[in-house]
Amino acid sequence: MTKQEVILNINAVKSEWNLNTKNTHFSNVVEYKNEKGWWFNIPFDKFQNDLYMVLNDLDTHRYTLITVLASSIPNPQNVFRNKNESMADIFIPKNSEMIFTDTQYNGSSYTFTTYYKYYYKKHEAFKYWLISSNPERYDSIQAFKNLSEVDWGNASNNHINIDDIVYIYIGKPLQKIVIKAVVIKSDFGESELLNNDKKYINENELRLCEKYFRLKLIKFIDNDLLTIDKLHKNGINGNIQGKRTVDGTALAYILKYDGSQIKDERAISFEEINADFEKEIVSAKYMSHGREERLAKASKQPEEVQVISRAFKRNADVVVAVLERANGFCERCECKAPFTRKKDNTPYLEVHHKIQLAEGGEDSIENAIAVCPNCHRELHFGV
Contact 371, 322 (CB under 8 A): no
pLDDT at 349 over 60: yes
Q: In what order do the strands lie in the sheet with 87-93?
A: 81-83, 87-93, 35-43, 24-32, 51-57, 62-68, 116-121
CA distance 35 to 31: 5
Mean pLDDT to the nearest integer, 162-189: 92
CA distance 370 to 360: 20
Is the pLDDT higher at 255 or at 308?
A: 255
> CA-based diameter of the chain, in Å?
94
pLDDT tens readout for residues 60-114: 778 889 999 999 999 999 999 888 778 999 999 987 666 788 888 777 788 888 8
Range with lowest mean pLDDT among 4-18, 205-219, 351-365: 4-18
- Strand duo 24-32 + 51-57: pairing: parallel
CA distance 218 to 164: 12
pLDDT of residue 58: 80
Q: How many C-beta atoms lie closer than 10 Å to residue 237's C-beta?
A: 9
Is the pLDDT higher at 58 or at 165?
A: 165
Read off the pTM: 0.48
Walk me through the domains of the chain, giving residue ranges and CATH numbers: 3-122 (no CATH), 128-246 (3.10.590.10), 316-381 (no CATH)
Torsion over CA of 265, 268, 272 and 274, rounded to 10 degrees?
A: 120
CA angle, 371 then 373 then 377, to 5°: 100
Mean pLDDT to the nearest integer, 368-374: 96
When the pLDDT of each residue in the chain is averaged and rounded to a whole number, the result is 85
Range with lowest mean pLDDT among 133-137, 168-172, 175-179, 301-305: 301-305
Task: Give the residues across from 68 on adjacent strands.
Answer: 51
pLDDT of residue 166: 94
pLDDT of residue 266: 41
pLDDT at 206 over 70: no
pLDDT tens readout for residues 260-299: 654 444 445 666 667 767 767 766 666 667 778 778 877 7
Mean pLDDT to the nearest integer, 223-242: 93
- Strand duo 212-220 + 62-68: pairing: unpaired
Q: Please name the amino acid found at residue 4.
A: Q
Q: Calculate what percentage of the chain has a pLDDT beyond 70.
A: 87
CA pseudo-torsion sign 315, 320, 321, 322: positive
pLDDT tens readout for residues 307-343: 555 667 788 899 999 999 999 999 999 999 999 998 8
CA distances from 81 to 43, 68, 309 (A): 12, 18, 23
Q: Which residues contact 156 (CB under 8 A, 6 or more apart)?
A: 242, 243
Mean pLDDT to the nearest integer, 151-169: 87
Q: How many C-beta atoms lie closer than 10 Å to residue 74's C-beta?
A: 9
Mean pLDDT to the nearest integer, 11-30: 83
pLDDT at 195 over 50: yes
